[in-house]
Amino acid sequence: MNIAIVGLGLMGGSLALSLKKLDFIKNIVGNDHNKTHQEDAIKLGLVDKIVEFSEIKEYDVIFLAVPVDGVVEALKNLTSVSEDTTIIDLGSTKEKIIASVPPLIRKNFVAAHPMTGTENFGPYAAIEGLYYDKVVVLCDLEDSGKSQAAVAKKIFKELGMRKHFMRADKHDRHAAFISHMPHAISYSLANTVMNQENKTDILALAAGGFRSMSRLAKSSANMWEDIFRQNKSNLLEAIELFEAELTLLKKNIEEDNWESLHKNLEGGNRLHDILD
pLDDT of residue 274: 85
Distance CA 211, CA 31 (A): 34
Same domain, 29 and 152: yes
CATH number at residue 47: 3.40.50.720
Distance CA 144, CA 167 (A): 13
Closest CA to 12 of 117, 151, 111: 117
How many CB atoms neighbour CB 263 within 10 A?
11
Please tell me the total count of domains within the chain. 2
Q: Which residues of the chain have pLDDT under 50?
A: none
Distance CA 42, CA 37 (A): 9
Same domain, 140 and 226: no
Same domain, 126 and 9: yes
Last residue of a domain, one of 166, 184, 204: 166
With vertex at residue 102, the alpha carbon angle to CA 140 and CA 80, rounded to the nearest 5 degrees, is: 120
Last residue of a domain, one of 139, 166, 193: 166
Residue 230, φ and ψ in degrees, nearest 5: -70, -30
Same domain, 38 and 150: yes
* Structural domain that includes position 104: 2-166
Same domain, 39 and 88: yes
Same domain, 225 and 241: yes
How many CB atoms neighbour CB 218 within 10 A?
14
pTM, 2 dp: 0.90
Strand 109-114 to 86-89 pairing? parallel
Same domain, 147 and 232: no
pLDDT of residue 202: 81
Residue 236, φ and ψ in degrees, nearest 5: -65, -40
Last residue of a domain, one of 126, 145, 166: 166
Same domain, 16 and 84: yes
Could you give the dihedral angle defined by the CA atoms of residues 124, 77, 80 and 33, in that order, rounded to the nearest 10 degrees? -30
Same domain, 27 and 150: yes
Cβ neighbours for 179, distance < 8 A, ≥ 6 positions apart: 92, 115
Q: How far is CA 197 from CA 55, 193, 266, in A?
A: 52, 9, 34
Residue 135, φ and ψ in degrees, nearest 5: -85, 140
Distance CA 115, CA 182 (A): 14
CATH number at residue 258: 1.10.3660.10
Same domain, 63 and 25: yes
Same domain, 225 and 151: no
Same domain, 112 and 208: no
